[in-house]
């Protein structure tokens, strides 16, 4: 009987975590699409006129993304590009 209750509690907890993970992933996906749309949409305007906005977007992205896990990839791209 105790095993059944523990199994039920674990399944409910796991379901909650999966739901939160999906919600977080969806929020990240929406934000990435919004940033991409704004940044790519600026190509239709004067480059000099949008330079300040482009820099603000770059600063924002750098502030929210921790580059530490990607340092090896960044160095590889720099050396091959």
Q: Is the pTM of this model over 0.85?
A: no
pLDDT at 81: 52
Residue pLDDT tens, the chain, 81 long: 788 888 888 888 888 889 998 999 999 899 889 988 988 888 888 888 888 888 888 888 888 877 677 777 777 767 765
- Please indicate, yes or no, if residue 6 is contained in any of the structural domains: no
Distance CA 81, CA 66 (A): 22
The contacts of residue 74 (CB under 8 Å, 6+ apart) are 67
Number of structural domains in the chain: 1
pLDDT at 30: 92
**Whole-number Cα distances in Å, 14 to 22, 31, 78:** 12, 26, 41
- Please indicate, yes or no, if residue 19 is contained in any of the structural domains: yes
* Structure tokens, 74: 């960044």
Q: Which domain holds residue 62?
A: 15-80
């Amino acid at each position: 009987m105790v095993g059944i209750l523990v199994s039920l509690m674990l399944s409910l907890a796991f379901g909650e975590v999966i739901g939160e993970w999906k919600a977080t992933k969806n929020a990240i996906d929406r934000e990435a699409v919004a940033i991409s749309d704004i940044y790519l949409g600026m190509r239709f305007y004067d480059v000099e006129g949008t330079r300040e906005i482009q820099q603000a977007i770059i600063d924002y992205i750098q502030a929210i993304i921790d580059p530490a896990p990607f340092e090896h990839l960044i160095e590889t791209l720099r050396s091959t590009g």
